[in-house]
Amino acid sequence: MDFVVDMPILQVLLLTIFFFALFVEIKTGGLGVGVLLGLAAAGVFFGSQYIKGLVDLYQIGIFLGGILCIILEIIMPTVGLLAGLGIAAMLYSVVLALGGDINAVYAMTISLALSVALFALIVKRLPSSRLWQKFVLADKSTKERGYVAADSRENLVGKTGYVLTDLRPAGSAEIDAAPIDVVSEGAFISKGEKVTVVAVHGSRVVVRRS
């Protein structure tokens, strides 16, 4: 058993399973599947490292503290601070357990990349939890929620009207029998002068003295 877990590829695989289980648990918010899978992988990883004397209770305590922070984040209405602290603590303990050198960082990075790729394949099939909503922006600016895009005014190009206020260069003009906020091309245009719409850029209507 020690020989098997000593193999770097098996260590990376165990960490991949653990990180994947962590993502699943954050996404589902306590269904239990992620917890069981993650604890099994973490138990084998840290247990083998502890038996070989490569980790002590300090690293294991940091790891368990990180898990506790994530559990508290799931059940408490916070803003994600505890989850971020918990993830950082677990990553730190994993690096220490792998030796605390650059190779440990490489192994953890590879494990994270593999777990993210695996999680991305199934993320749409999993239910979302309250904690997941804190990490992912789900709100949309829809018409049903009162968000309406500005009306297009491209049809005003070429039309003429009269300036209602001095354009310095911004002001208003009457075009199509309606007052419209406009801006001149740069020159000052006095109130009452005739202007022509030469361009429309979104809600910005550009006019020129006729």
Domain check: are 184 and 131 in the same one? no
In a domain, 105, yes or no: yes
pTM of the entire structure?
Answer: 0.47
In a domain, 66, yes or no: yes
- The residue to which tokens 């790729």 are assigned: 117
| Strands, E assignment, the chain | 160-163, 170-175, 178-184, 194-201, 204-209
The predicted structure's pLDDT at residue 164: 92
Structural domains counted in the chain: 2
Q: Which domain holds residue 172?
A: 154-209
Domain check: are 126 and 177 in the same one? no
Domain check: are 44 and 82 in the same one? yes
Domain check: are 90 and 181 in the same one? no
pLDDT tens track of the chain, all 210 residues?
443 344 567 778 888 887 777 777 666 665 565 667 777 777 888 887 778 777 788 888 888 888 788 777 767 656 667 777 887 888 888 888 878 778 888 888 888 888 888 878 877 766 454 544 544 444 444 555 454 445 567 888 889 999 998 888 888 999 888 898 999 887 788 888 999 999 888 778 889 888
Residue 110, C-beta contacts closer than 8 angstroms, at least 6 positions apart: 12
Residue 13, C-beta contacts closer than 8 angstroms, at least 6 positions apart: none
The predicted structure's pLDDT at residue 163: 92
Domain check: are 189 and 107 in the same one? no
How far, in Å, CA of 163 to CA of 195, rounded? 7
The predicted structure's pLDDT at residue 37: 72
Domain check: are 41 and 89 in the same one? yes
* Residue that terminates a domain, selected from 88, 108, 135: 135
Domain check: are 10 and 107 in the same one? yes
In a domain, 8, yes or no: yes
Q: Which amino acid is at 181?
A: D
Q: By the 8 A CB rule, do 34 and 28 touch?
A: yes
CATH code of residue 179: 2.40.50.140
The predicted structure's pLDDT at residue 138: 46
